[in-house]
Amino acid sequence: MTTAQPRPLFTPKALATYLGLSERTVWQMLADGVIPSVKVNAGRAGARRIDPADVDEYLSRRRREDAQ
C-alpha cells in the first residue's frame, strides 16, 4: 500500500505568491478566518502555516460562488 506524500504547509508569504495576492491581503484573510491557519511555535510572534487542503477548499468555495 502506498501513501500520498503530505504537501508542505504554506507560509503566508508563499501563499501570497501562490495566489498572486499581497502578503498583507493574505494576513488579513487569515485574521478574518477566510482561510484557516495554525500557529506552529509558541510566543506572541508565532509562525503561521496554512494547510494546502484548506487553500484548495477556499478556491473551490470561490469557484462555486463565482458560478452562481
Q: What is the pLDDT of residue 1?
A: 57
Taking the C-alpha atoms of residue 22 and residue 17, their distance in angstroms, rounded to an integer, is 8
Residue 43 one-letter amino acid: G
Q: What is the pLDDT of residue 46?
A: 72
The pTM score is: 0.82
Expressed in angstroms, the distance from the first to the final Cα of the chain is 40
Taking the C-alpha atoms of residue 21 and residue 13, their distance in angstroms, rounded to an integer, is 9
What are the mean pLDDT values of the chain's consecutive 10-residue runs (68 residues total)? 78 97 98 95 80 97 92
Q: What is the pLDDT of residue 31?
A: 95
Number of continuous H segments (helices) and E segments (strands) in the chain: 3, 2
